[in-house]
Structure 1
Amino acid sequence: MKALSTTAKPKAGFSLLEMMVVLVIIGILATIVVINVLPSQDRAMAERARADIRTLEQAVELYRLQMLAYPSTEDGLEALVSGPSDTALAARFPQGGFVRRLQTDPWGNPYQYLYPGELGEFDIFTLGQDGRAGGEGLDADIGNWGD
């Protein structure tokens, strides 16, 4: 018979304390990333809204040049996508419209349009995250009238 060895090899692996230290470090890193990334996302959403509004503003100006008038408030931005019902004006409307499709703002709300505008010749704007006029921060209105 062979004699049993009394020296046991320690098992490989991590102790509970080592695992807890790693989890605390990961939690601290995740907190730092969240604190630094979330404001960037908010700024990116506001900047996307500004870029969309600039694009729509250019499309409205092209509409005016082609159709010899701005779209009415009643027709809204939909006039950039679908042709007018008046057959004389429909001949001037480009195939595919002035924009391919209307985007919603970064918060899922439709962009607003007024003609004549309250702050310019025409107003294109979003009501911000809250969808109500006025507000600050993410709830602030963003429009073609500037900041």
Structure 2
Amino acid sequence: MPNVFILAGITMTNKENASLSRIATLLLCATVLAACTSEVDEATQLLSDSFRIKEGLEVGDVTSYPGGVVCGQYSAYLSYYEPPLENAPFIVIDGALDRSPDTLDWRLLCTDDPAAALFEESGIGPFSESSLELIKVTRDMSLLTSTLETYYEDNTSYPLESAGLQALVEKPENDRLARNYRAGGYIDQLPVDPWGQPYHYQHTRWGRVKGSFELTTFGKSGEPGGHGLEADISSSYLPYLQRIARLLGVD
């Protein structure tokens, strides 16, 4: 006698249940394929819309990757007076087009395994659901980065290196640019890295230009260099860490 299954009040044989499972699998595959096709079509249209000169535009090798990333190449005329740009890379991330991505973006975004690519490029990781240290570093740097941007919005400058990240907790005494410092500071307590060390802060200021900052942890060893838990982790890698965290569901 064949096995019988009861689903939502419907009685099915083993054979019928197997057929239903195959249909469900096919429907899932079709849904995923449709989503990927839609992303590719939307990215291609976004690229096309970005050019004033449409004649001679060619787009190829357009591929969808996990996390809302589409990568490809294009050839196009940027001017009627210059030769066309040939086989130039482009990346679309969450609907935002980058027609001139740098090499690091191409390596770490245009891949089916961003965690492996990050480890190969930097020695950081591999990042997985059980990487508690990397999860904490990603969250800490995300918090500090957003807090530094809020500080900048108020004061039109980042904290001086001499004041360091402590300037986010209490107003620095010797920074005359912190005129609009918020009462009570910007954060109650500074996070430390997973090994109990403070995050290193570097800030480059260029006159009246915004400048930039970098956050760093030297890993478990506390010394520059290394791989895995010993690896240095800079905030320059934060966008890639955040993307991997979102894909893993640990952001």
**Band the TM-score falls in, shorter-chain normalisation:** 0.5 to 0.7
Task: Point out where structure 2 has 5 or more consecutive residues left out of the alignment.
Answer: 1-127, 206-210, 241-251
- C-alpha distance 131-87 of structure 1, shift in aligned 2 (>3 A): closer
TM-score if structure 1 supplies the norm length? 0.64
Structure 1 window deviating more from structure 2 (84-93 vs 128-137): it is: 84-93
Q: Distance in 2 between matches of 1:110 and 1:96?
A: 21
After superposition, give the CA deviation of every residue in 1:8-65 in whole Å (9 maximum; x if it has no partner). Answer: xxxxxxxxxxxxxxxxxxxxxxxxxxxxxxx865x11111011101110111111111
Higher strand share: 2
Residue 127 of structure 1: which of 218, 229, 236 is its match? 218
Instruction: Determine helix, strand or coil for the equivalent of 1:121.
Output: strand
Task: Point out where structure 1 has 5 or more consecutive residues left out of the alignment.
Answer: 1-38
4+ residue stretches of structure 1 with deviation over 4 A? 86-91
Q: Which structure has the larger Rg?
A: 1
Bigger RCO of structures 1 and 2 (CA < 8 A, at least 6 apart): 1
The one-letter amino acid paired with 1:46 is L
Structure 1 window deviating more from structure 2 (45-54 vs 88-97): it is: 88-97
Q: Distance in 2 between matches of 1:86 and 1:45?
A: 35
On the 8 A contact 2:192/2:198 being kept in 1, the answer is yes
The one-letter amino acid paired with 2:226 is G
Higher helix share: 1
Count the aligned residue pairs. 106
On the 8 A contact 1:134/1:141 being kept in 2, the answer is yes
1:80 to partner: Cα distance:
0.5
Could you say which residue in structure 1 is the equivalent of 2:66? none
TM-score if structure 2 supplies the norm length? 0.39
Could you say which residue in structure 2 is the equivalent of 1:68? 156
Q: Distance in 2 between matches of 1:89 and 1:116?
A: 15
Q: Distance in 2 between matches of 1:132 and 1:101?
A: 24
Could you say which residue in structure 1 is the equivalent of 2:183? 95
Could you say which residue in structure 2 is the equivalent of 1:108? 196
Could you say which residue in structure 2 is the equivalent of 1:4? none
Q: Distance in 1 between matches of 2:198 and 2:175?
A: 28
After superposition, give the CA deviation of every residue in 1:89-114 in whole Å (9 maximum; x if it has no partner). Answer: 66522122111111111100001000
Percent identity (aligned): 34
The one-letter amino acid paired with 1:98 is Y
1:127 to partner: Cα distance:
0.8
1:134 to partner: Cα distance:
1.6
The one-letter amino acid paired with 2:192 is T
On the 8 A contact 1:50/1:143 being kept in 2, the answer is no
